[in-house]
Amino acid sequence: MAKKYLDLDGLSHFKSKLDTEYVEQVSGKSLSSNDYTDTEKTKLAGIDSGAEVNVIESITVNGITATVSGKSASVTIPTGDGAISQISVNGVAQTVTQGAVDISVPTQVSDLTDGANVVKDANYVHTDVNFTSAKDTKLSGIATGAQVNKIETIKVNGTTQTITSKAVDISVPTNTNQLTNGAGFITGISSSDVTSALGYTPYNSSNPSGYQTASQVETAINNKIGSTYKAKGSIPFSSLPALTSANEGNVYNITNAFTTTADFVEGSGKDYPAGTNVVIVNTSGSTYKYDILSGLVDLSGYVLDSDLVAITNAEINALFS
C-alpha cells in the first residue's frame, strides 16, 4: 500500500498557500475594517514627530504684542527716511555728511600707536627656516667636533673586508663541508673504519652471512598471519573458544542470539541476533577479547522506497477548500 509523504516541493507549495490565504498573527492585535492605505502611510511619513496644527499664537514687534486673529496679525511698522544719525569708531564720533562717513583706517604699522613696545631690528632678515626648540634640543645633544656615524673598517677573522657603497658582503659558512676540520673529527664511518678501530675484522660465527633462520622466518610469518582474520565456521555462543594468542584472528558465526559479557570489546549487556560474526583480537599486550564484526539487521519494519508517493499540489489545494 502506498504511503503518502510531503517532499520539499510539496512543502514549498503548502507554505505558498498559507502565505496567500492567511496573514501572520501578531500578539495583542486583531483584524478590523479600518484599513490603513498606502496614501495614508505616505501622508503620515511627511509629518514631523510632535507636529501641531499650523496656528500663529503670538507676534511681537519691538516688544509690543500684536493682535492675532485666526491666521492673521496686524503689525504697525514705523516709516522714515532711514538716515544714519551717528557713527563712532573706537568711541570717537565720526562726522556724517549727507548720509556718508569717511573713516580713516590704518594701512601700515607706522600708523599704529606702539602700545606693546615692539622692538624693530633693521638687520633682521625674515625666512621660513625657523630655529625651533626641537632643533635647539637636537643641537645640544651633539658633541663638539662630532662626525657622521660612519663605519670605516670591517674585519672578519682579522681579514679586512671591502666596503662598497656603504655595503659589505660577508661570506658565512652554511654547511660543515665549508669548514676546515681542524679538530680531526670523523666525517664518515665505514666497515674499514670499524676494523681499523678494533684491530681486527668482526665475524658472526653463528650466522656469518646474516641470513634469517627457519625459526625466525616462521615467527615473522605467524606474527603477520596472526593479524589476519581467519573464518572458522558457525558455532553456538556457548562454544566460543578460549581467548588466547593461538586463536587470535579467528572469526566465528554465532548461530543463536546472545548477550555480550565483559570479555567483549563492546562491553557486557549488549544483545545481538543469531548470525552475528565474532572475532578474537589482541587489545593490548597479552590481553585478548571477542569483537563483534557484523550481524543480521531486521528491516521488516521499514518502508520501501517504492511504497513512498509524494503528496501532490492538488491534494494540498484540497486542504484549503
Q: For residue 240, what pLDDT is reported? A: 96
Residue 266 CA to residue 250 CA, distance in Å, equals 17
| Highest-confidence segment of 50-59, 68-77, 80-89, 150-159 | 150-159
Q: What is the pLDDT of residues 223-249, one digit of tens each?
A: 676 567 889 999 999 999 999 988 999
For CA atoms 123, 128, 129, 130, the dihedral sign is positive
Residue 217: all three cell numbers together: 622466518
Query: Does residue 210 have a pLDDT over 90?
Result: no
Residue 130 CA to residue 143 CA, distance in Å, equals 22
The mean pLDDT value for 24-53 works out to 82
Query: Does residue 173 have a pLDDT over 70?
Result: yes
Q: For residue 197, what pLDDT is reported? A: 77
Residue 55 CA to residue 246 CA, distance in Å, equals 109
Query: Does residue 175 have a pLDDT over 90?
Result: no
Cell 586463536 belongs to which residue? 247
Q: Which amino acid type is present at position 302?
A: Y
Distance from CA of residue 69 to its chain's centroid? 69
Residue 289 CA to residue 262 CA, distance in Å, equals 9
Reference 272, options 286, 289, 293, 288; nearest CA is 293
Residue 12 backbone class (left: φ over 0; alpha: ψ -120 to 50; beta: rest): alpha
Q: What is the 3-state secondary structure (H, E, C) of 189-254?
A: CCHHHHHHHHCCCCCCCCCCCCCCCHHHHHHHHHHHHHCCCEEEEEECHHHCCCCCHHHCCEEEEE
The model's confidence at residue 259, banded by pLDDT at 50, 70 and 90, is very high
Q: Which of 22-26, 261-265, 271-275 has the lowest mean pLDDT?
A: 22-26
Instruction: Quote the pTM value.
Output: 0.29
Query: Does residue 295 have a pLDDT over 60?
Result: no
Share the mean pLDDT of the chain. 81
Pair 280, 254: CB distance under 8 Å: no
The model's confidence at residue 79, banded by pLDDT at 50, 70 and 90, is low
Residue 319: all three cell numbers together: 486542504
Residue 225 CA to residue 230 CA, distance in Å, equals 9
